A = this chain, B = another copy of it.
Amino acid sequence: MKKHLLTPGPTPVPPEVLAATAAPMIHHRAPDFRVLLERTVGRLQQVFCTTNDVLLFTASGTGAFESAVANLVSPGDSVLAVSHGEFGERWAKLASVYGADVTSLAVAWGETPRADDLARALAEKPADVVFLVHSETSTGVVADIEALAAVTKAAGALVVVDAVSSLGAVPLETDVWGLDVVVSGSQKALMSPPGLAFAAVSPAAWERCELATSPRFYFDWHRYRKSYESLGTPFTPAVATVAGLDVALGMILDAGLDTAFARHAALGRACREGAKAMGLKLFSPDDESSAVVTAIFTPEGANAKELVLALRDRFGITVAGGHGDMATRLFRIGHIGWFDVFDITTALAAVELILTDMGAPITRGVAVSRALEAYGEAVAVP
């Protein structure tokens, strides 16, 4: 059966990128790799919109999360984690593991955190470091990082951002917004296989790093910066994945970041409109910020777990389910990276067919038609 991957990571990888990962192996201290690493890191800086160091780890995205905590936080430090889903909770857990005094500013899953709430929380209890999530993959909410970062900086704290599923999908201005640390990974909107994670580190973050007493070695930022001086990495990196990422970043930058952002916004809109045309309710916000993943409720009486399984077993389509107690009510269609509107219509057409078979009162054909129409409207707007 032909497979269709529509999860918010890992995402489909273009054949050009796959081919680059399958080239004969090269040595990580040979000149070929030095050229590759320098170019890839330069391209990452362009995608992060930063002149800061962008460190490249061989790890899942969580490895870059942990690097931020281990290099910035010492036991007893006061930190605040803004949480609106699974990954905000992960920041809080990580900081606790490293002995921080953690305040969690949590809003309900599916809600969007507000800058004035953060300002109030920081006024009540100052923090050394604030941890934010840009795109919360578990809910589809994309937070207003510019506003959250502004109040954080006004309160004198460092701002650390999880941009794993947002980088390359929605605008993220590391330098303009003054973000001290931004972490991301290869396997989402960057259209590459999983296995590489990144941390963009500002001068202020480097200063704090000097003082942090938490033990770290593999994720010790200093080792990476020192190795960059000779265009290398401190440990054997995932050479093949770097080769793939380099090609993917080249594709993204050749087309332009704004083109990528516009495509993601249009895909999100197509997905939402197609779902609504079937009468389905959205869990993700119904606005242009929802460009990463669309979380959708199944109709009354249709079990979302069964829908996800039927998509997989009948049609080879992989979408994501809902977390925890949302598992029976929610499914999520990812649309970051190498997607066009026909990936969205494929998913919606299959969802429509299965829900109809489950007895949902849906007029057949509405989802695809409305998705195409909405996409056309979105791309027509400059």
Contact = CB atoms under 8 A, between A and B. Distances in A.
29 contacts: A5-B27, A10-B25, A10-B26, A10-B28, A12-B24, A12-B25, A21-B21, A21-B22, A21-B240, A22-B22, A27-B318, A58-B60, A60-B237, A61-B235, A61-B236, A62-B217, A62-B235, A63-B218, A65-B218, A70-B215, A97-B217, A98-B215, A185-B236, A193-B238, A193-B239, A194-B240, A195-B238, A215-B215, A240-B241
Contact of A238 (B66, B69, B216, B238): B238
Given A58-B195, A60-B58, A218-B63, A3 B22 contact: no
Interface in A28-72: 28, 30-31, 58-63, 65-66, 69-70
Given A27-B5, A238-B194, A214 B217 contact: no
A165 to B, nearest CB: 11
Interface string A234-268: 11111111000000000000000000000000000
Nearest to A313: B31
Nearest to A241: B195
A99 interface: yes
A218 B59 contact: yes
Contacts of A99: 215
B28 A216 contact: no
Minimum-distance CB pairs A-B, first 5? A195-B238, A22-B22, A60-B235, A193-B240, A18-B22
Contact of A94 (B7, B65, B217, B318): B217
Q: Which of A7, A28, A60 has the most CB of B within 10 A?
A: A60
Contacts of A62: 217-218, 234-235
Nearest to A235: B60
Contacts of A290: none
A19 interface: yes
A99 to B, nearest CB: 7
